[in-house]
Each structure stands twice: as C-alpha cells, then as structure tokens.
Amino acid sequence: MARLCLLLALLCACAGPRPRPPSDLRQSAAFLTFGTEGLLFTGPDYAARAALAPVDKDGKPDVDRVIFSNFRKDERLYFLDLPPGRYAPVAAYWTEHGLRHAVKIEEKDAALDIPPGELRFLGDFTARRRWEDWPRFLLNGLLSAKILVPPFRPAVAFLDAPVRIHDKSAAAEIRALRAAVKDLSGTEWARAAQERLVAMKAPPPALTERRGIFRRKEVPVKVHWTPMFGYIDTLEWGEPADVPGGLEWRHPKDKARVQVALRDSPPLATALEKLKGLGSPEDSHTHSMVYLSTRPAYAVRYTNYHYPEPYLTGEVVKVSVTETLLVPDPRGYFVVQMRASREDFPKVLPAFVRFRTYLRLEPPPKEDK
C-alpha cells in the first residue's frame, strides 16, 4: 500500500520554476541532495524530485500524506512552505531512458524536527545502484515504451538501491546552506538560511587562489590581521590608511572609500538612530538586517547633497551615497561603511559586498599574530 501511494504521487508531482514564498511567517522549509552511483560509473546522477512525509507519534513516516519537493537548483531539492513539524525523506526519483526511476529512502536517522519559520538541511544522500536481474531489465525495457503512447507519461520503476551514504555533518550542512542562500536569493528563505549559518557559528567561506606554474594548486588566501579584526584584500585598492579604531581603503581614482572600525561609543542604539536620521528626504530613514560574514548587522543607506562654497544651493551639487553597517560585538560594535558618488555607487557596490563577506570581525588567533 505504501508503494502504491508513492507511485500515484510520483505520477502527479510537478515542480515550480521559482522558489515558493512562505504563506505564513510560521511556515518552514527543508532541503536535501540525493545522488545515485551508476552501475559502471562512480559519478552520481542527482535526483530530479524527492518525497517527504510527516512522522507520526510512533516515529513512522506517514506515506499517505507525502509532500514533494517544489523547487530544484542544481543537485539541491527544496521543500518550501512546510507546516512546522517532524519529517523524514521517503523517496527520490529521476527520469532516464523513458522511465521514472524511484528509490525508497528508509534511513532510520533521517527524520528531523523543523521549527517554525526555519530552514533545515536533511542531509546529502548517496545510493548505490545494483544490477537486479535480466527479467527486471527486460520488463523495464517494455515499460519505457509507455512514454510513446497516450497520455505520454513515463512509467515508474522502483530500484533496489539502498542508501550507502547519508552525510548530515555540520560541514555538509554549512556547504549546503551557503548554496541555499544563493539559490533562494530574494526570498525569506534566504534569510532563514543565513540565520541558520549564524546559529551554527559558521566561519566565513574559504577564499583560495591558484599558485604555481607547472603544478598549479589552490591555496588559501592570506588573512591580514589588525588588533581588532582580520581582512582579505579583495578590493586591491592599495594599502589602507589608519583611522580611529580601524582602517580605510581609498579607490585609486577616488571613486569610493571603504572603512572598517571598532567603536564603543555612542551606544549602538544611539548610533543606529543617528544613522537613520541622516540623508535626504527621499531616503527611507529605516534600517534593514543583513549578514556580514554570517553575523547579523544593521544596514542603513542614505544620500547626501554637497554644495561647495561659495556656490548657492541648487547651483553646483555633488551627490554621494553611503551604506553603513553596524555589527554588534562584545567589544562594542563595528562600523563597516562605503561611500561613493551616486554615479559610481552601483559600480563599486559588488566589490564592497565581496570585501565584507571575508571580514573576520574578531581578534587575531594566537597562531596568526
């Protein structure tokens, strides 16, 4: 009966081309990867869809109420807009040679509690396909012809492919969550992925560079440490200048300035209110929450009009845009800021975002001093 329920659901399931937004702030989400190792090749073929089932009070998946992944990006399969609860993956499938192959997932430790409003990684699954027998092979060959007759849908063939690897380690989850932030960009789910990275205290993603002439290899990019923080010079604007509590980088053509400094006064709440009051009438005068190196930060963007002496207001004007991030820290708070002309701001913003991604807002490790 369980196999029949999955069969019917597999035939009817379809995926959405875009991430589904949450219908309620308490709705949750989960995702996984599922690959199958071939009979002749070791490279995995990733599933196109997976099925999730709520776990009942006895700890068994309720396959009469399966939920199918509704968004896919590369090898990642997402279950978006779930009611909070405990779920377990029960099946995965992909289409090959005119058949919709299905694999049952029966891992005992695959069930996971998904709290309200959060995104959880169910794991990285790998199954090993096995040769079944010649009768099964011939039967599948006949079933594959079903796609040639109305209603032109592929038949479902269940495979005997037990899960060989179920990786739900912290390292696997961090890798998957970083990919999820990009996959779900522009939705509330991306924020949920960032918040999970913060909760896991994930370090900034590693940045490497290729070195060597004959034997080129990837090596970690050096982190430069100050007494207050560490940074990787992705800006490449030259040596930074000292400013109170930190450093400032200046664009070679003076198109922009980036500053990182540790402050302990005025209090963070006071500094944030002051920032929201800066700028011009067209500015929002509100802050947004962003994540800097997986740490939460308050971001404010504002515009300034400059009227140099001796010109009158409205005659000669220079317009600058400033984006300031205030990052809470046990030592006070960090100010991470970029200022540029209104024309140059969108051009240098990607460089600023990349630079702040690799900031290490912490004292230097003892071995790196």
pLDDT of residue 40: 47
Rounded to a whole number, what is the distance in angstroms from the first to the last CA of the chain? 64
Is residue 310 pLDDT above 90, yes or no?
A: no
- Angle, helix 170-183 to helix 188-199, in steps of 10 degrees: 160
For 30-42, write each residue's pLDDT tens digit: 999 988 776 544 4
Phi-psi region of 115 (alpha: psi -120 to 50; beta: other; left: phi over 0): beta
The overall longest dimension of the chain from CA atoms, in Å, is: 93
Specify which residues 350 forms β-bridges with: none
Q: Are 328 and 263 in contact (CB under 8 A)?
A: no
Is residue 4 pLDDT above 60, yes or no?
A: no
pLDDT of residue 210: 62
The CATH fold of domain 217-368: Jelly Rolls (2.60.120)
Q: Domain locations in the chain?
A: 2-199, 217-368
Q: Please state, in angstroms and rounded to a whole number, the distance separating the CA atoms of residues 294 and 175.
A: 13
Q: Which segment of 153-167, 221-235, 326-340 scores lowest on mean pLDDT?
A: 153-167
pLDDT band at 150 (very low <50, low <70, confident <90, very high): low
Q: Are 167 and 176 in contact (CB under 8 A)?
A: no
Map residue 262 onto helix, strand or coil. Answer: strand
Q: Are 352 and 358 in contact (CB under 8 A)?
A: no
pLDDT of residue 290: 86
Q: Which segment of 78-82, 107-111, 346-350 scores lowest on mean pLDDT?
A: 107-111
For 254-308, write each residue's pLDDT tens digit: 899 999 999 999 999 999 999 999 988 888 989 988 888 778 899 999 998 877 6
Amino acid at 15: A
Question: What percent of the chain is predicted at pLDDT more than 90?
Answer: 44
For 213-246, write each residue's pLDDT tens digit: 555 555 567 889 999 999 999 999 999 999 999 9
Specify which residues 173 forms β-bridges with: none
